[in-house]
């Protein structure tokens, strides 16, 4: 038995014969052409056909994986409609009298670097999408499109890399799971694998060898492990885990459309936490009541060395708002700093980043960046039930200052006659002991609250929750923390406001009943934890 370790991107167990993806590509040769006008026209026809293909793919993907995930193919269309991209390819054909295939390949190799330098932010971090688009046009030019997966029965797919357009078209009745040598956990391919529910492990490197073709393989999408020619004990163990997981998934699926209500009739709202636009569809799939926490800092963290523009942020928030409809969408302003670093924002090096320059402190200090985000959130509020929340609050003054800036942004938008919800609800995160102690005063200043138990736990206990050496002392159920949650809840309810929990403890099923008894109004968890939490709530007497 050979054991390989990679990056888990989609949970589940897959057992079957391995088959390598035979992508039909031809060698791109440098060929001189006599009629450059004819060659340019040949390129343009292939480009237009590729755009039409992507439009068709968008329509079919919308039906299968939802509109939020289908926007991947709108982004790919943008590459093919980019005038700079078209001009660069055309220039090589005309000026160097070279064939369209060679010109396209030449431009593609440098396009990502060029696009980032020229603020084409939609390309940032999506090298696989650029390859996907270019491969599509090259195939049209060379009239080659005969990819093959030579298996009559269901199999496990292996590839060097799988492009988004290939991932979205995988037939779940044929492809049990897939493994790749390369790829990133936040790629569009990874998102599509999770959305389609196909177990997958990527990043296996050169240890994934072609000589494994036809051998039995097990994908353990829970632990990021792959077993080639597994022994009897491993097969038995994994089949058992597969059966248990299938039973659990089927049972949880039956809870879709059900209420989050205890057997005694007590209700509690359950929402989902997300970090990117690709997560939006998972909120709908898991039947969450809405988005209880949109971690907007990920838009900054995934944007390379360029700050996300107002338009870029607006389009993402708008997509989330429209997808949720009347359901709640809570957008937390960027909680950058600490362990959340962004290349586009130099926050310096700190000895104690968890208690340093981060959250609302950064926003108030860098007002123009803050205003850009507030404009985007307010504009999106015209398209759904959007709420705004400030992170890492320690004083009433921080809230007052943030709200003043918000009012100035509202006036700007009014003057520009840009629509937004003038009565947008404003809330704060309770993540510091200071915020706990002034929660009563804060409750008179804002509309709602959410407890961030991750930071509140480590700041209360004085322990870094990521430090393995402190694991035996770190107690997420510490009486002091639970007492704080009770204090906050009482203070907030005295002012007639609502409070939720959006940190890791929200998904801790050992505490669910206690939270309900305390009077917590809502719990917000990762999308894949929603139905398990609903099950627990419905079992409580």
Tell me, what's the pLDDT at 124?
A: 59
| pLDDT bucket at 86, cuts 50 / 70 / 90 | very high
Query: Does residue 46 surpass a pLDDT of 70?
Result: yes
CATH of the domain at 364: 3.20.20.60
Provide mean pLDDT across the span 335-347.
81
Provide mean pLDDT across the span 523-540.
93
Same domain, 219 and 282: no
Q: Give the model confidence (pLDDT) of 110-167 as tens digits.
A: 776 776 666 665 555 567 788 888 888 988 888 765 555 555 689 999 999 888 888 8
Same domain, 89 and 193: no
Tell me, what's the pLDDT at 269?
A: 97
Same domain, 366 and 420: yes
Same domain, 131 and 151: no
Residue appearing with tokens 């494994």: 212
Query: Is residue 438 situated within a structural domain?
Result: no
151 or 84, which is more confident?
84
Residue appearing with tokens 């949109």: 294
Question: 125 with 278: CB under 8 angstroms?
Answer: no
Tell me, what's the pLDDT at 218?
A: 96
| pLDDT bucket at 539, cuts 50 / 70 / 90 | very high
Query: Is residue 381 situated within a structural domain?
Result: yes
User: What does the alpha-carbon distance between residue 403 and residue 392 come to, in Å, rounded to a whole number?
Assistant: 15
Tell me, what's the pLDDT at 79?
A: 87
188 part of the active site: yes
Q: Give the model confidence (pLDDT) of 367-415 as tens digits.
A: 999 999 999 999 999 999 999 999 999 999 999 999 999 999 999 999 9
Tell me, what's the pLDDT at 116?
A: 60
Tell me, what's the pLDDT at 464?
A: 81
Strands 13-20 and 216-220: antiparallel
User: What does the alpha-carbon distance between residue 246 and residue 240 come to, in Å, rounded to a whole number?
Assistant: 10
Question: 268 with 519: CB under 8 angstroms?
Answer: no
Provide mean pLDDT across the span 41-59.
93
Same domain, 199 and 309: no
Q: Which domain range does residue 87 map to?
A: 36-142
DSSP string, 193-227: HHHHT--EEE--GGGS-GGGTTSEEEEETTTTEEE
Query: Does residue 482 surpass a pLDDT of 70?
Result: yes
Tell me, what's the pLDDT at 75?
A: 83
**348 φ/ψ angles, rounded to the nearest 5 degrees:** 80, 175
CATH of the domain at 9: 3.50.30.10
Provide mean pLDDT across the span 2-25.
87
Last residue of a domain, one of 92, 118, 142: 142
| pLDDT bucket at 177, cuts 50 / 70 / 90 | very high
Question: 516 with 261: CB under 8 angstroms?
Answer: no
228 or 117, which is more confident?
228
Q: Give the model confidence (pLDDT) of 428-447 as tens digits.
A: 999 999 999 999 999 999 99
182 or 172, which is more confident?
182
DSSP string, 231-291: -HHHHHHHHHHHHHHHHHHHHHHTTTT---B-TTS-B-EEEEEESSGGGHHHHHHTT-SEE
Query: Is residue 449 situated within a structural domain?
Result: no
Same domain, 173 and 127: no
Say if residue 83 is exposed, middle or buried (CB neighbours under 10 Å; 0-12, 13-18, 19+): exposed
Tell me, what's the pLDDT at 501?
A: 97
Same domain, 154 and 76: no
User: What does the alpha-carbon distance between residue 225 and residue 182 come to, in Å, rounded to a whole number?
Assistant: 15
Same domain, 135 and 215: no
Last residue of a domain, one of 232, 255, 290: 232
**What's the chain's Rg over C-alpha atoms?**
26
526 or 350, which is more confident?
526
Question: 445 with 341: CB under 8 angstroms?
Answer: no
Query: Is residue 491 situated within a structural domain?
Result: no
User: Worst-scoring range by mean pLDDT, 44-48, 142-146, 283-287, 336-340?
Assistant: 142-146
Q: Average per-residue pLDDT in the chain?
A: 89
Q: Give the model confidence (pLDDT) of 445-470 as tens digits.
A: 999 999 999 899 989 999 887 677 88
Same domain, 349 and 212: no
Tell me, what's the pLDDT at 496?
A: 97
Query: Is residue 455 situated within a structural domain?
Result: no
Please count the structural domains in the chain: 3
Query: Is residue 443 situated within a structural domain?
Result: no
344 part of the active site: no
Catalytic residue among 286, 344, 478, 502: 502
| pLDDT bucket at 245, cuts 50 / 70 / 90 | confident
Same domain, 161 and 190: yes
Last residue of a domain, one of 110, 142, 174: 142
Confirm whether pTM is higher than 0.85.
no
Same domain, 421 and 516: yes
Same domain, 163 and 312: no
Tell me, what's the pLDDT at 94?
A: 94
Strands 426-430 and 269-274: unpaired
% of the chain with per-residue pLDDT over 70: 94
Question: 502 with 328: CB under 8 angstroms?
Answer: no
Query: Is residue 477 situated within a structural domain?
Result: no
Query: Is residue 465 situated within a structural domain?
Result: no
Tell me, what's the pLDDT at 526?
A: 87
CATH of the domain at 82: 1.10.274.10
Q: Give the model confidence (pLDDT) of 185-218 as tens digits.
A: 767 787 778 777 889 999 999 999 999 999 999 9
Q: Give the CA angle between residues 51, 184, 282 to the nearest 5°.
A: 75
Catalytic residue among 188, 344, 477, 478: 188
């Amino acid at each position: 038995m050979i054991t390989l370790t990679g990056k888990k991107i989609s949970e589940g167990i897959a057992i079957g014969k391995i088959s390598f993806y035979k992508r039909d590509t031809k060698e791109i040769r440098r060929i001189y052409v006599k009629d450059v006008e004819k060659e340019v026209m040949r390129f343009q026809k292939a480009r237009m056909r590729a755009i039409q293909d992507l439009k068709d793919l968008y329509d079919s993907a919308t039906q299968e994986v939802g509109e939020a995930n289908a926007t991947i193919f709108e982004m790919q269309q943008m590459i093919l409609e980019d005038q700079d991209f078209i001009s660069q390819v055309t220039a090589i054909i005309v000026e160097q009298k070279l064939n369209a295939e060679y010109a396209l390949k030449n431009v593609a190799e440098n396009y990502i670097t060029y696009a980032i330098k020229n603020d084409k932010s939609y390309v940032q971090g999506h090298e696989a999408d650029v390859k996907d688009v270019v491969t599509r046009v090259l195939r049209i030019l060379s009239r080659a499109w005969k990819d093959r997966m030579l298996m009559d029965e269901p199999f496990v797919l292996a590839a060097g890399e799988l492009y988004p357009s290939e991932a979205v078209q995988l037939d779940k009745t044929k492809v049990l799971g897939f493994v790749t040598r390369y790829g990133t956990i936040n790629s569009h391919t990874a998102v599509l694998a999770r959305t389609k529910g196909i177990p997958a492990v990527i990043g296996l490197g050169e240890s994934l060898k072609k000589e494994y073709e036809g051998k039995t393989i097990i994908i353990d999408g829970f632990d990021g492990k792959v077993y080639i020619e597994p022994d009897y004990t491993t097969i038995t163990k994994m089949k058992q885990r597969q059966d248990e997981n299938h039973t659990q998934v089927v049972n949880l699926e039956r809870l879709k459309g059900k209420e989050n209500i205890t057997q005694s009739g007590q209700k509690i709202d359950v929402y989902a936490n997300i970090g990117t636009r690709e997560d939006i569809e998972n909120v709908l799939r898991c039947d969450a009541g809405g988005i209880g926490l949109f971690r907007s800092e990920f838009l900054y963290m995934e944007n390379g060395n360029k700050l996300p523009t107002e338009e870029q942020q607006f389009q993402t928030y708008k997509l989330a708002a429209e997808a949720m409809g009347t359901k709640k969408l809570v957008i937390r302003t960027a909680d950058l700093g600490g362990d959340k670093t962004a290349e586009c924002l130099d926050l310096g090096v700190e000895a104690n980043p968890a208690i340093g320059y981060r959250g609302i402190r950064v926003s108030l200090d860098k007002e123009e960046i803050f205003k850009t985000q507030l404009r985007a959130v307010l504009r999106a509020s015209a398209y759904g039930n959007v709420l705004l929340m400030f992170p890492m609050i320690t004083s009433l003054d921080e809230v007052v200052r943030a709200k003043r800036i918000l009012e100035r942004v509202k006036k700007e938008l009014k003057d520009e006659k840009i629509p937004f919800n003038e009565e947008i609800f404003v809330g704060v995160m309770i993540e510091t002991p200071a915020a706990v102690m002034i929660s009563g005063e804060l409750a008179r200043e804002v509309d709602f609250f959410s407890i961030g138990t991750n930071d509140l736990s480590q700041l209360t206990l004085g322990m870094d929750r990521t430090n393995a050496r402190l694991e035996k002392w770190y107690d997420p159920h510490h009486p002091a923390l639970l007492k704080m949650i009770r204090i906050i809840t009482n203070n907030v309810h005295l002012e007639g406001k609502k409070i939720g929990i959006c940190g890791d403890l929200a998904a801790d099923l050992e505490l669910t009943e206690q939270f309900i008894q305390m009077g917590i109004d809502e719990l917000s968890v990762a999308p894949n934890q929603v139905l398990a939490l609903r099950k627990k709530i419905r079992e409580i007497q």
